[in-house]
Chain A
């Protein structure tokens, strides 16, 4: 135990003291928020006003009404054109327009579905539908006038709607939209942790082999202690980084909350977080996250350790040997996407029970509600299977590790490695 602890300590301290750890821990949240705010800022400031000429052959549209609508939605400016119509039709850009709509003669009872926004450049459906909405609002008023529906009746027509939302009978706090977001975030976080820190374990073991320190160590400690020390040490690094991030978020949350309710983007996040914290079963999700994070990490890290012990310094060898393991993680993410869309479907249920995908898939399902969406027995079985699963991979990896760590030369195949596992010691 003492020796394993010494190894854990070294693995942990050498990594946490590294500049790259400190930088990546600080930079990741900064980049993340920068990306969100930066995109919002860019979207806000790069809007261009689309100048559309309306050649009206129906006689329904008036410039005053168009001006009103242009003021409401400034993303496009629709102007009636009558005298310069031939110039516009020939070359809208020379006439000072981005495009034109040629409105044919219209029947107010039928409408028309073959009207085009014609332009030299291509515009997306989003742009077209904004212009369409603008003209339809005018068109609705024309229809209302023709049907003699006054403004109070219009209000009734607009406001009176039936709205249907999902509500879980067993878990009143379940919120499908929120669950989707949290499920995605939790699943993706575990995915990143498995891949990034799993490969760190692999590189760490390879380093011991290429440095030729493996045999020096193995004469003092058991290979199993070496492997577990490395896995636990690196797992602790991942946990530290993760806790620091949570700490940052709560710090930002409290600082912005204390600084008063200004309409900044940060306070929007505060609002969302308040909704998150009150809207879901936070303690359960955090507990499960911790469990699946550790379980998944042990499951995959031991496999990566086994691969690291089997190959030599060549990174390509390691990549080709670790490909099947990495594929399992990627398949889990694919299963997660399906599970979020349909959290009680067979793929979601099986994916959250099988140990190789359960850390990611189950974490995506849990926010939908326990025991509403995920029955207790499924959660319990999934946890039990994951524990058995990682005990299995640790056992399997330990067998490969103690042979591989002292083996130099040709890269073994998965078949040879299986032989190492099942031969007697």
Chain B
């Protein structure tokens, strides 16, 4: 896979804060890339530089192998900001056409694309409705269509699921996967870690303007695993635990969460339990969630507390 976007040592300081402080990463073509971090971590500022809205103070952005040129490259980027809205008094069809034309599409091309997308998402009957008559979910759908209908190479979605019901969420999720399969690259920004685990292949985690982690979701989980396992056995006795190769972390009637001791393997655990003639119903490794990893990395800061409650 060739590289679509490379960001190197990007910095953007505002008067009283370092919004983005030396962040580097790269996104390959066709990838679904997650940009993670709590509110105020600098995600939106970072995206605004990638979309050409802000100029970086220093650092470089490379798009399709060339230095990023906002005037021409915006044609190949579709951005759905977190603060997104529509003109209330406009008709839906005209609105979609307008946004497509602002991306540089001719009127005929725009019309063709809008019609195609409206058909796929079953929106044809909305054409002459006014935006103010749409429900929140419907207008989110329209925003999503407006973001992608000029067939951008890079689609940037900032908190795309906020305010969406599960039905529409799944619809958008399916579209994201479909677009990625057809070769679009998706940069997906959110503070909801659990969404990223489902959708993204690679992530970068930012906090207070700095990158604290990046890699594939699987590798990161392996890197931060703590040898936690869920074992389907009855609650163990004191006697059993005294010589066991693991420590009990949480217990319930049928399932025990344990941490395997240093130097011991899963087979040691199983062998020990078999030797004690304890019936095993299940045995499963517990990988940490991105949420837990994030909290472990940033410690007990206000940013982390936000996620402990989630």
Which residues of A come within 8 Å of B, CB atoms? 2-3, 6-7, 10, 14, 207, 210-222, 406, 408, 425
Measured CB to CB, the closest approach of chain B to A120, in angstroms, equals 60
The reply to whether B102 and A211 form a contact with Cβ atoms under 8 Å apart is no
The reply to whether B81 and A211 form a contact with Cβ atoms under 8 Å apart is no
Q: Which single member of B55, B85, B101 contacts A211 (CB below 8 Å)? A: B85
The reply to whether A3 and B53 form a contact with Cβ atoms under 8 Å apart is no
Q: Is B181 interfacial (CB 8 A cutoff)?
A: no
**In the assembly, what is the distance between CA of A220 and CA of B86, in Å?**
14
| CB-nearest residue of chain B to A423 | B15
Chain A residues lying within 8 Å of B81, measured Cβ to Cβ, are 215-216, 219
Q: Is B143 interfacial (CB 8 A cutoff)?
A: yes
The reply to whether A213 and B87 form a contact with Cβ atoms under 8 Å apart is yes
The reply to whether B52 and A211 form a contact with Cβ atoms under 8 Å apart is no
**In the assembly, what is the distance between CA of A6 and CA of B102, in Å?**
7
The reply to whether B84 and A6 form a contact with Cβ atoms under 8 Å apart is no
- Name 13 extra pairs, CB < 8 A, besides A210-B85, A216-B80: A10-B98, A211-B88, A212-B85, A215-B53, A215-B84, A216-B81, A219-B52, A219-B77, A219-B81, A220-B99, A220-B102, A408-B83, A425-B55
Chain B residues lying within 8 Å of A406, measured Cβ to Cβ, are 48, 53
Chain A residues lying within 8 Å of B143, measured Cβ to Cβ, are 216
The reply to whether A213 and B79 form a contact with Cβ atoms under 8 Å apart is no
| CB-nearest residue of chain B to A13 | B94
Q: Which single member of A10, A218, A408 contacts B53 (CB below 8 Å)? A: A218
**In the assembly, what is the distance between CA of A218 and CA of B98, in Å?**
14
Interface residues of B in 74-116 (CB under 8 A from A): 74, 77, 79-81, 83-90, 98-99, 101-104
Measured CB to CB, the closest approach of chain A to B193, in angstroms, equals 24
| CB-nearest residue of chain B to A225 | B102
| CB-nearest residue of chain A to B79 | A219
The reply to whether A212 and B83 form a contact with Cβ atoms under 8 Å apart is yes
Number of A-B residue pairs having CB atoms within 8 Å of each other in the complex: 59
| CB-nearest residue of chain A to B88 | A211
**In the assembly, what is the distance between CA of A213 and CA of B103, in Å?**
14
The reply to whether B89 and A14 form a contact with Cβ atoms under 8 Å apart is yes
Residue interface bits B25-61, CB-to-A below 8 A is 1, else 0: 0000000000000000000000010011101000000
A-B pairs, top 10 by smallest CB distance, nearest first, are: A212-B85, A211-B85, A219-B79, A215-B81, A220-B102, A213-B85, A212-B83, A219-B51, A6-B101, A220-B103
Q: Is B146 interfacial (CB 8 A cutoff)?
A: yes
Point out which of B71, B85, B98, B104 has the most chain A C-beta atoms below 10 A from its C-beta: B85
Interface size band for B: 20 to 34
The reply to whether B86 and A213 form a contact with Cβ atoms under 8 Å apart is yes
Chain B residues lying within 8 Å of A220, measured Cβ to Cβ, are 74, 99, 102-104
The reply to whether A6 and B98 form a contact with Cβ atoms under 8 Å apart is yes
Measured CB to CB, the closest approach of chain A to B93, in angstroms, equals 13
Given the interface contacts A220-B99, A221-B102, does A211 sit within 8 Å of B87 by beta carbon?
A: yes
Q: List 22 A-B contacts (CB under 8 A).
A: A3-B101, A7-B102, A14-B87, A210-B85, A211-B88, A212-B84, A215-B53, A215-B83, A215-B84, A216-B99, A218-B53, A219-B53, A219-B74, A219-B77, A219-B81, A220-B74, A220-B99, A220-B102, A220-B104, A221-B102, A406-B48, A408-B83
**In the assembly, what is the distance between CA of A218 and CA of B81, in Å?**
10
Interface residues of B in 112-166 (CB under 8 A from A): 143, 146
The reply to whether B88 and A2 form a contact with Cβ atoms under 8 Å apart is no
Chain A residues lying within 8 Å of B53, measured Cβ to Cβ, are 215, 218-219, 406
| CB-nearest residue of chain B to A212 | B85
**In the assembly, what is the distance between CA of A2 and CA of B99, in Å?**
13
**In the assembly, what is the distance between CA of A207 and CA of B84, in Å?**
13
**In the assembly, what is the distance between CA of A222 and CA of B69, in Å?**
13
| CB-nearest residue of chain B to A207 | B87
**In the assembly, what is the distance between CA of A395 and CA of B185, in Å?**
37
| CB-nearest residue of chain B to A416 | B15
The reply to whether B77 and A216 form a contact with Cβ atoms under 8 Å apart is no
Chain A residues lying within 8 Å of B80, measured Cβ to Cβ, are 216
**In the assembly, what is the distance between CA of A3 and CA of B98, in Å?**
10
Measured CB to CB, the closest approach of chain B to A412, in angstroms, equals 12
Measured CB to CB, the closest approach of chain A to B243, in angstroms, equals 62
Chain B residues lying within 8 Å of A219, measured Cβ to Cβ, are 51-53, 74, 77, 79, 81
The reply to whether B79 and A211 form a contact with Cβ atoms under 8 Å apart is no
Interface residues of B in 258-310 (CB under 8 A from A): none
Chain B residues lying within 8 Å of A207, measured Cβ to Cβ, are 87
Chain A residues lying within 8 Å of B52, measured Cβ to Cβ, are 219
Measured CB to CB, the closest approach of chain A to B138, in angstroms, equals 16
Chain B residues lying within 8 Å of A7, measured Cβ to Cβ, are 102
Measured CB to CB, the closest approach of chain B to A215, in angstroms, equals 4
Measured CB to CB, the closest approach of chain B to A419, in angstroms, equals 9
| CB-nearest residue of chain A to B77 | A219
Point out which of B80, B81, B88, B90 has the most chain A C-beta atoms below 10 A from its C-beta: B81
| CB-nearest residue of chain B to A216 | B84
Chain A residues lying within 8 Å of B55, measured Cβ to Cβ, are 425
Chain B residues lying within 8 Å of A212, measured Cβ to Cβ, are 83-85
**In the assembly, what is the distance between CA of A211 and CA of B84, in Å?**
8
Given the interface contacts A2-B104, A14-B90, A406-B53, does A216 sit within 8 Å of B98 by beta carbon?
A: no
Measured CB to CB, the closest approach of chain A to B58, in angstroms, equals 13
Measured CB to CB, the closest approach of chain A to B198, in angstroms, equals 26
| CB-nearest residue of chain B to A2 | B104
Measured CB to CB, the closest approach of chain B to A304, in angstroms, equals 19
**In the assembly, what is the distance between CA of A411 and CA of B53, in Å?**
21
Measured CB to CB, the closest approach of chain B to A143, in angstroms, equals 76
**In the assembly, what is the distance between CA of A215 and CA of B52, in Å?**
11
Chain B residues lying within 8 Å of A14, measured Cβ to Cβ, are 87, 89-90
Chain A residues lying within 8 Å of B87, measured Cβ to Cβ, are 14, 207, 211, 213
